[in-house]
Amino acid sequence: MSFSSPIRCVITAGPTREPIDPVRYISNPSTGKMGFAIAEAAVAAGWTVDLVSGPTHLREPDECILYPVITGEEMFNQVDALFDACDVLIMTAAVVDFRPKFPMPQKEKKGSAQLTIETEPVVDILKTVSQRKKDQFIVGFAAETNDLEEYATRKLREKNMDLIAANLIGSASGFGLDSNILTLLGPDGFCEKWPSASKSSLGRDLVALVTRKMEERRALSES
């Protein structure tokens, strides 16, 4: 690799949780497996890795620095603090889009619990930090139930990414599985469809692809 110093990478992984009351929360089925697999591959490639993760049962690679968070706001604050110093940002975390506007200070009893919860948007981490993007290479993930390439391409452009990895949620791809099926898209028309493979294998392939894309970009800037 032609880089003069190790690539510094920030990776987000896992779900986030938004509290309804002290014992209940809004979340999703993300396990963090994809993000942790990418972190392991990045460490193996010699990258310096900061791993910002929501609640999971996974053990981070020994050589990376783990920043555990719970809510979307906590994840944003940590990514925001690390972004300027990184070379690569890979956002695999499944950040909850909405949070209760008024979390209840005490556990709501079943008989008296409100049936309607007023919500507000959670900060869009990727869209926000990418607004001050300099030379960082930004990779996002998109999990969709339909119109995969259309929605992924829209996110790619709206959030100023260099690459997006998209998958359809289903029996062979999505949350909780040890394997995945990915479609990789870039703003220059780049498109690769990766068949079903283990998340460990996909993590290695993604790190290799990002390395190649960064080397191509550097060679272009120096020509």
Q: What is the gyration radius of the CA atoms in the chain, in angstroms? A: 18
Residue 5 has pLDDT above 80, yes or no: no
Confidence tier at 2 by pLDDT (50, 70, 90): very low
Confidence tier at 3 by pLDDT (50, 70, 90): low
Q: CB atoms < 10 A from the CB of 146, how many?
A: 8
> What residues are annotated to the active site?
28
Encode pLDDT of 107-147 as tens digits: 887 776 666 889 999 999 999 999 999 999 999 999 988 99
Alpha-carbon distances, residue 125 vs 43, 93, 122 (angstroms): 24, 10, 9
**Cβ-based burial of 150 (10 A; exposed 0-12, middle 13-18, buried ≥19):** exposed
Contact 45, 9 (CB under 8 A): no
pTM for the predicted model, two decimal places: 0.93
Contacts of 151 (CB under 8 A, 6+ apart): 142, 144, 166
